[in-house]
Amino acid sequence: MNRLVVKHFLQVGGGQIAVVSSVAGKVGVVLSGPYSASKHALQGYFNTLRMETYGKNIHVTLICPGPVRTPIYQAAFTHQSGETTERKPLQGEISENWMTSERCAFLSLVAIANKLAETWLSKLPIIPTIYALLYLPVVSEFLTRLVFPSIVKRMKKSN
């Protein structure tokens, strides 16, 4: 569909495409392989589209929110399609560190209005964590090997 939109934008002299991805499109997320993979695909596709339309007055904005308080959480850690969970969140999983959907929408609109190429939206400590995972891969790999096995074990046990 975006190819039709780009064709239209070329005819009218420009436009903007805004895509909601996720910080999961930048780094993997525990127990969310298919979700992370789909968001990585969005990142790759729309980063390429942005490069292909440089100089044509077409702007591509990738919006990458971190954890947002929405009902998707109930289906995020299940094993079957269509299944939901009443699982109680782990300590700190859903807390004041998760954005409200209203805050996420507001920040997304700010990014679109300013024609940002990409924006990461989240409360602390998500953004610095993403930076560390991306730009300090050796250190991050060492730390995640120490920390993540216990987190995954707790998440699977609470399911």
Q: Is the CA virtual torsion 18, 20, 22, 26 positive or negative?
A: negative
Of the residues 35, 45, 73, 131, only one is catalytic, namely 35
User: Which residue is associated with the tokens 């969005």?
Assistant: 42
The stretches of the chain forming alpha helices (DSSP H) are 2-12, 33-52, 73-76, 101-113, 126-135, 137-158
CB 42 within 8 A of CB 85: no
Q: Active site includes 54?
A: no
Catalytic residues: 35
